[in-house]
Amino acid sequence: MLRSTVSRFASRGTRVVTQRFASTKTLKETLQEVIPGKQEQLKQLKSEHSQTVIGDVKVENIIGGMRGLKSMLWESSVLDPNEGIRFHGLSIPDCQKQLPAAPGGKEIIAESMFWLLLTGNIPTEAETRQLSRELAEKGDLPTYVEKLIDGLSPSMHPMTQLGIGVAALNHDSVFQKAYETGIKKSDYWTYTLEDCLTLIARLPALAARIYRNVYKYGAAAPPISKDLDLVGNYTALMGYGADKDLTEYLRLYISIHGDHEGGNASAHTAHLVGSTLADPYLAYSAALFALAGPLHGLANQEVLRWQLAMQKELGDNITHQDIKDYLWKTLKSGQVVPGYGHGVLRKSDPRFIALQEFCDSRPELLASPTIQLVKKTYEVAPGVLTEHGKTKNPWPNVDATSGCVLYHYGLTEFKYYTVIFGVSRALGALTQLVWARALGLPLERPKSVSMDALQDLINKGA
Task: Tell me: does residue 252 bind ligand COA (CB under 6 A).
Answer: no
Q: Is position 343 an interface residue for ligand COA (rule: CB under 6 A)?
A: yes
In the complex with ligand COA, the residue whose CB is nearer, 241 or 396, is: 396
Q: Is 392 in the site for ligand COA (CB under 6 A)?
A: yes
- 340 part of the interface to ligand COA, by CB under 6 A: yes
Segment interacting with ligand COA (CB under 6 A) among 214-222, 227-235, 318-326, 338-346: 338-346
**Residue 63 makes contact with ligand COA by CB under 6 A:** no
94 is catalytic: no
Q: Which is nearer to ligand COA, 331 or 441 (CB)?
A: 331
> Is residue 294 helix, strand or coil?
coil
Residue 43 or 392: which CB sits closer to ligand COA? Answer: 392
By CB under 6 A, residue 163 contacts ligand COA: no
**CA–CA distance, 423 with 210 (Å, rounded to integer):** 12
- Which residue in the set 320, 390, 410, 412 belongs to the binding site for ligand COA (CB under 6 A)? 390
Sequence letter at residue 358: F
We find the least distance from the C-beta atom of residue 390 to ligand COA, in angstroms, to be 4
Residue 44 buriedness (CB in 10 A; 0-12 / 13-18 / 19+) = exposed
Asked if 403 interacts with ligand COA (CB under 6 A), we say no
- Helices (DSSP H) in 151-215: which residue ranges? 158-168, 174-181, 188-215
Nearer to ligand COA, 158 or 343 (CB): 343
Establish whether 342 is a catalytic residue. yes
- Closest residue to ligand COA, Cβ-based? 341
Q: Which of 260, 268, 271, 342 is catalytic?
A: 342
Q: What's the full length of the chain, in residues?
A: 462
Residues 6+ apart with CB under 8 A from 237: 204, 205, 208, 209, 212, 221, 222, 224
List the one residue from 204, 338, 403, 422 that touches ligand COA (CB under 6 A).
338
Supply the minimum distance, in Å, between the C-beta of residue 258 and ligand COA.
14
For residue 105, CA distances in Å to 108, 223, 231, 248, 447 come to 9, 22, 12, 7, 48
Per residue in 207-228, is it b (16+ CB within 10 Å) or e — as a string?
bbbbbbbbbeeeeebeebeeeb
Q: Which is nearer to ligand COA, 100 or 341 (CB)?
A: 341
Alpha helices in 276-416 (DSSP H): 280-291, 299-314, 320-332, 350-360, 363-366, 369-388, 399-408
Backbone torsions φ then ψ of 171, nearest 5 degrees: -55, -30
- Does the footprint of ligand COA cover residue 422 (CB under 6 A)? no
Quickly list DSSP for 116-132: HHHHSSPPPHHHHHHHH
Residue tagged active-site, from 296, 360, 452, 456: 296
Strand, coil or helix: what is 20? strand
Give the shortest CB-444-to-ligand COA separation in angstroms: 21
Nearer to ligand COA, 114 or 352 (CB): 352
First-last CA distance in the chain: 71
| Contact flag: residue 397 with ligand COA (CB under 6 A) | yes
Asked if 268 is an active-site residue, the reply is no
- For residue 5, give the amino acid letter: T
- Catalytic (active-site) positions: 296, 342, 399
Binding footprint of ligand COA on the chain (CB under 6 A): 295, 299, 331, 336-343, 390-393, 397, 399
